[in-house]
Amino acid sequence: MHLVRFKHPSSGTPTAGSLIGSSVQAEGEVFSLDDVKLLPPCVPTKIVCVGRNYADHAKELGNTVPEKPLLFLKPPSAVIGPEDAIVLPISEEVHYEAELAVVIGKRCKNVPAADAAGVILGFTCMNDISDRVAQRWETNWIRAKAFDTSAPLGPSILSLDEASEPFHVTLRLNGEIRQEGWTSDLYFSIPVLIETISAIMTLEPGDVIATGTPAGVGVLNQGDIVEVAIDGIGILRNPVQ
Ligand code: MG
């Protein structure tokens, strides 16, 4: 199942439903995808991001893969949905980062890696928008990674029962492929990430774990169209402002 949230065409209320082909279904109603505005597919209380989790990307920025997962947070206020504009902060070096995002399905704490599948709702696409200038001088990455619109999510959540791993993650900038990777190359696996993160903090339904980006990151400019495409999940497309 592809789970979505959308603005109901008559009431304007955020509504949960499922995407079937080019239609959206919710509570007995069916709408054409063309007639609804898709919202971010979940409402996280936090987005836990993993840095340097693909060896080839760690290397391209002059880093090595860390001994333990390198974690940072984005706030809920950073989230935007499909087709929403990424508003660049004042910086000459804001990068895209295509990532597989894990969406948590139930409240959990101290989940052993072996039981991680039991707390996963499904998977979606995320673009971890990153200001490299701020990232170079700021140790906690709040300016670099937590600004408004820095967490595009969507378009839908592929439910765990229909997911087949590994996922093929691609980023296209103005139609040109810039990043390509397989989640089988994640240095710390999804179960290990869930075990590690849930030992630190309680995870809530809708919370997101962004699993890291493969090599090929690069600069966004105003007017660009950036797309994160994950086979089996969908395409998250955002214009840059
Ligand atoms: Mg990232």
219, 94 in Cβ contact below 8 A?
yes
What gap in Å lies between CA 80 and CA 129, rounded to an integer?
11
Task: Copy the structure tokens of residue 238.
Answer: 């955002």
Task: Copy the structure tokens of residue 93.
Answer: 């070096």
Q: Are strands 151-159 and 79-80 parallel, antiparallel or unpaired?
A: parallel
Q: Are residues 98 and 1 in the same domain?
A: no
Q: Are residues 143 and 235 in the same domain?
A: yes
User: Ligand 1 centre and the CA of 113: distance in Å?
Assistant: 22
User: Ligand 1 centre and the CA of 217: distance in Å?
Assistant: 10
Q: Are residues 20 and 135 in the same domain?
A: no
User: Ligand 1 centre and the CA of 50: distance in Å?
Assistant: 6
User: Ligand 1 centre and the CA of 54: distance in Å?
Assistant: 10
User: Ligand 1 centre and the CA of 26: distance in Å?
Assistant: 33
193 to 46, 114, 117, 228, 234: CA distances (angstroms): 15, 11, 12, 22, 23
User: Ligand 1 centre and the CA of 76: distance in Å?
Assistant: 16
Task: Give this prediction's pTM.
Answer: 0.97
User: Ligand 1 centre and the CA of 24: distance in Å?
Assistant: 30
User: Ligand 1 centre and the CA of 105: distance in Å?
Assistant: 22
Give pLDDT, residue 151. 98
CATH number reported for the structural domain that contains residue 105 in this entry: 3.90.850.10
Q: In terms of residue numbers, what domain contains 11? A: 1-39
DSSP conformation class of 199: H
What gap in Å lies between CA 237 and CA 153, rounded to an integer?
9
Q: Are residues 209 and 234 in the same domain?
A: yes
Number of compact structural domains in the chain = 2
69, 192 in Cβ contact below 8 A?
yes
Task: Copy the structure tokens of residue 114.
Answer: 């072996």
pLDDT along the chain (241 residues), means of 10: 96 96 95 96 98 93 93 98 97 96 98 98 98 95 98 98 97 98 97 98 98 97 98 98 97
